[in-house]
Amino acid sequence: MYEYRIVIVDDGSIIPVNTFLVGLPVYCLRHRVNLGQGAALETGFQYAFKCGADIVVTFDGDGQHVAEDVRTIVKPLMDGEVEVVLGSRFLEDGVSEVPVVRKMVLRIGRLVNFALGGGLLSDAHNGLRAVSREALEKISITENRMAHASEILFEIKRHRLSYREVPVTVNYTDYSRQKGQSGVDGIKILFDLVLHKLFR
Amino acid sequence: MSGIQLLLLTGVAFIGLFFFTRLKKRTLDILLLALMVGCAGMFVIWPDITNKIATRLGVGRGADLVFYVSILLFWFVILKLYARIRRLEQLLTQIVREDALNKAATPVTKQEAP
């Protein structure tokens, strides 16, 4: 039996998210100004660590992930096989119907991640991850915006953490497409990554 | 003196004055400022100096040399500004995060995992 908590990080939404959470068994953290997804994840990580979490699962709020996948992604951690588990939409063909442009951006992204010193993964940027407490203690995200996904890979390498990719489903609804990354965002991420490497 | 020289000299004078009134008697800064303003003024009044330096360095015209050097300088300034922006952002993030963690709403729930 395991106890779990759902933590929501409200990254400076104009309408505070907790107005929609009344009576729900969730914990809500609110940034007073919008900082970006990377910052929101780090806030969530720090809170989870403070609460004594053994495993942390990150789950994007735009409906692209499937709750059942949490079980598969957490399993290697519970079995003590690895320290970080990363979701991938490309490991099993046909599970996720990825739009062509998105696929191309992610293909380039995984090579960029590899070139800049992360591991060579099948998926460059997947919001579904599971992190053990030991890894949580070591990993710290300083990239406030979307470059955090690559930074996590750099951190995994830097601290020599063991990791594994696990196939997960990514749903492309109209809403998640609207919220997702485009080619232009890819260039922004690249820019952030170059700055990250320059000033550190 | 041509029109452009008058224009540039007035500009240099104003910028020099602007910084001079803001500096709080730090000798090194004032010296540096005086040097820069002096150089700028000199190059505007005797443009031939830049031409001479330019031909020495293998650049055709003095104006071109000034152009190339300013591009380099601007790159440097932009990078410095980016570094500063990132530092500020980190500070802001830290403050906002602390605030979020301090105000964390805590509903008491214990549920069993599926």
User: How far off is chain A from B87, nearest CA to CA, in Å?
Assistant: 10
Residues B1 and B41 occupy one common structural domain: yes
Domains recognised in chain A with CATH numbers: 6-198 (3.90.550.10)
pLDDT bracket for residue A156 (50, 70, 90): very high
- A3-12 pLDDT, tens digit per residue, is 899 999 999 9
Residues B69 and B41 occupy one common structural domain: no
Evaluate if residue B113 carries a pLDDT over 70: no
ipTM of the complex: 0.86
Residues B42 and B79 occupy one common structural domain: no
Region A52-60 average pLDDT:
95
> At a CB cut-off of 8 Å and minimum separation 6, what does A19 contact?
none
Q: Is the Cβ pair A25, B113 closer than 8 Å?
A: no
Tell me which residue range forms the domain holding B32.
1-46
Residues B69 and B31 occupy one common structural domain: no
Interface test with A, best of B97, B106, B111 (most A CBs within 10 A): B97
Region A5-23 average pLDDT:
90
Residues B41 and B69 occupy one common structural domain: no
Share of residues in chain A with pLDDT > 70 (%) = 96
User: How far off is chain A from B86, nearest CA to CA, in Å?
Assistant: 9
Q: Which is nearest to A85 in space by CA: A137, A161, A170?
A: A161
DSSP string, A31-91: ESS---HHHHHHHHHHHHHHTT-SEEEE--TTS-S-TTHHHHHHHHHHTTS-SEEEEESSS
Residue among B100, B107, B110 minimizing CB distance to A26: B107
Enumerate the residues of chain A whose CB falls inside 8 A of the CB of residue B110.
3
Tokens standing for residue A167: 């196939």
Q: Is the Cβ pair A31, B104 closer than 8 Å?
A: no
Residue among B97, B104, B110 minimizing CB distance to A27: B104
Measured distance CA(A13)–CA(A34) in Å, rounded:
7
Enumerate the residues of chain A whose CB falls inside 8 A of the CB of residue B86.
195, 199
DSSP string, A156-176: HHHTT--EEEEE------HHH
Residues B10 and B37 occupy one common structural domain: yes
Which residues does residue A9 pair with via DSSP β-bridges, in sequence order? A29
Evaluate if residue A181 carries a pLDDT over 70: no
Measured distance CA(A149)–CA(A86) in Å, rounded:
10
- B16-74 pLDDT, tens digit per residue, is 999 888 877 778 888 888 999 999 999 899 988 888 889 999 888 888 888 999 999 99
Count: domains in chain B: 2
Enumerate the residues of chain B whose CB falls inside 8 A of the CB of residue A35.
92-93, 96
- B66-112 pLDDT, tens digit per residue, is 899 999 999 999 989 988 999 999 999 999 999 999 988 666 444 43
Mean of all residue pLDDT scores within chain A: 89
Tell me whether residue B53 is in a domain: no
Residues B6 and B39 occupy one common structural domain: yes
